[in-house]
Amino acid sequence: MAHDPLSVDACVDCSVDGGNLPMDVSVDVPTENLWLSVVPDGEYLDVQIWAKGLGQLFGIAGRVEFNDALPADASIELEDFLGGDGDAAYLVRTTDTGAIWGGTRKSRTVGATELNGPTLLGALRVKMAAMDAEKFSLTQVSARRADGSVIA
């Protein structure tokens, strides 16, 4: 999924054409640094998870929630935003109403990774109408540095 991260604005717009969604965020991360963007792709929606300006990132996790039952064929994939298999581990799982996602560097010896510019973390792919895009929210997000401190 290669989409231009520079087309993503701050968390204000609520359009479906690559714009951002309103967020119900219970997070350590400020909302201007983390957002959802919905990209229609035929009969599918790619609900993308974006981040920027987090600096030295060791791990991050959260949920993408849908306020209705998620279609059974929904899937989520994460990008290697913290590094490849040798340096990082990722977890994704769909639920009845969304997805749980996360990634962490494998050890403190590999250190943190820099995440400054707009970066696609992953996407939840769902077969549904674009009109359902505003039913998604990003919740329960936590991001940490290598020393365990919260990114705020």
Q: Please give the model's pTM, rounded to 2 decimal places.
A: 0.78
d(CA 25, CA 114): 23
Mean pLDDT of 110-115: 91
Nearest to 60 by CA among 34, 32, 23: 34
- Give the model's confidence band at 7: pLDDT under 50 very low, under 70 low, under 90 confident, else very high: very low
Lowest-pLDDT choice from 2-6, 59-63, 95-99: 2-6
Q: Is the dihedral of CA 120, 121, 125, 129 positive or negative?
A: negative
Q: Which residues are bridge partners to 45 per DSSP?
A: 40, 126
pLDDT at 84: 86
Mean pLDDT of 78-96: 92
Residue 41 is given by DSSP the state: E
- Give the model's confidence band at 83: pLDDT under 50 very low, under 70 low, under 90 confident, else very high: very high
